[in-house]
């Protein structure tokens, strides 16, 4: 997509520039077209790092193998008073609590719940932030190590660009570090996913109950009981 000016880019509608979009992700999204070095393309990532006192351009090659993913697989919002300008809420850190603190500091919310009248934040897909809290990031791995494993063909070693689940190529992903069998590693992942799924379902029910109870409480406050007068 041709450069249109940042504010105009983020404020435009799909109908305006959609005909320029050929593929959702292209080489230049992750690589410098001049030398094919890894280079994120989204300004919001550079700006978020700059506010944190860091420079994306000085990141190591291994960090870049995650940062090219982090420019899209990340929590974000649009500054409504700045032409719907894309921004990453990373000023106070990458944890959930840090994002909540940041949003609270600027009074941002996505919508007001119609029942409880609660201001609600709709988090998008903070994949990079979640990854950074995990043990794999702490051990120095990148997103590409597991989702784009290396392929060896003769004397050539290169990164697979068939981006997929690590479970699709356990021998080239998990087993480069873990010595358990493929079935054991696969079941370990499934067990953790089932726990997350169960917790999510329980939390959703509690949240729904909370909104309904707040709605009923609000009605009682607005319409106090009228006692019979004797």
CATH of the domain at 59: 1.10.1130.10
Residue 226 pLDDT exceeds 60: no
Q: Determine the Cα–Cα distance for residues 48 and 56; give it in Å rounded to an integer.
A: 9
DSSP-derived secondary structure for 11-63: HS-HHHHGGG-S-SS-HHHHB-TTT--B----HHHHHHHHHTT--GGG--HHH
Q: Are residues 36 and 79 in the same domain?
A: yes
In this prediction, residue 5 carries a pLDDT of 53
pLDDT for 33-60, tens place per residue? 899 999 999 999 999 999 999 999 999 9
In a domain? residue 125: yes
For the residues 190-197, what does the mean pLDDT come to? 96
In a domain? residue 208: yes
Q: Are residues 127 and 193 in the same domain?
A: no
List the domain range (segments joined by +) for residue 198.
180-230
Residue 156 pLDDT exceeds 70: yes
In a domain? residue 207: yes
In this prediction, residue 23 carries a pLDDT of 63
pLDDT band for 120, please (50, 70, 90 cuts): very high
Q: Determine the Cα–Cα distance for residues 185 and 197; give it in Å rounded to an integer.
A: 19
Task: Please give the model's pTM, rounded to 2 decimal places.
Answer: 0.80
Residue 148 pLDDT exceeds 80: yes
For the residues 178-198, what does the mean pLDDT come to? 96
Average pLDDT, the chain: 89
Given 147, 170, 188, which residue is the final one in a domain? 147
For the residues 108-137, what does the mean pLDDT come to? 93
In a domain? residue 121: yes
In this prediction, residue 2 carries a pLDDT of 43
In a domain? residue 13: yes
Selected residue with higher pLDDT from 154 and 221 = 154
| Domains: count for the chain | 2
Given 97, 127, 147, which residue is the final one in a domain? 147
In this prediction, residue 17 carries a pLDDT of 73
CB 150 within 8 A of CB 158: yes
In a domain? residue 22: yes
Q: Are residues 139 and 193 in the same domain?
A: no
In this prediction, residue 1 carries a pLDDT of 41
Residue 91 backbone dihedrals phi, psi, to 5 degrees: -60, -30
Given 105, 124, 147, which residue is the final one in a domain? 147
In this prediction, residue 224 carries a pLDDT of 57
């Amino acid at each position: 997509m041709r450069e249109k000016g940042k504010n105009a880019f983020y404020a435009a509608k799909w109908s305006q520039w959609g005909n320029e979009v050929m593929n959702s992700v292209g080489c230049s999204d992750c690589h410098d077209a001049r030398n094919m070095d890894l280079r994120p393309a989204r300004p919001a990532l550079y700006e978020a790092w700059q506010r944190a006192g860091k420079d994306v351009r000085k990141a190591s090659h291994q960090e870049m193998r995650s940062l090219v993913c982090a420019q899209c697989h990340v929590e974000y919002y649009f500054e409504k008073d700045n032409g719907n300008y894309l921004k990453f809420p990373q000023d106070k850190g990458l944890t959930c609590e840090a994002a909540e603190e940041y949003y609270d500091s600027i009074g941002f919310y996505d919508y007001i719940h119609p029942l409880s009248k609660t201001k609600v934040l709709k988090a998008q897909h903070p994949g990079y932030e979640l990854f950074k809290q995990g043990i794999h990031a702490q051990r120095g791995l990148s997103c590409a190590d597991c989702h784009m494993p290396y392929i060896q063909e003769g004397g050539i070693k290169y990164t697979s660009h068939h981006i997929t689940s690590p479970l699709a190529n356990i021998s080239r992903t998990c087993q480069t570090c873990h010595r358990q069998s493929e079935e054991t590693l696969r079941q370990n992942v499934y067990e953790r996913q089932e726990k997350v799924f169960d917790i999510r379902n329980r939390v959703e029910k509690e949240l729904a109950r909370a909104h309904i109870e707040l709605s009923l409480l609000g009605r009682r406050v607005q319409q106090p009981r009228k006692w019979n007068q004797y």
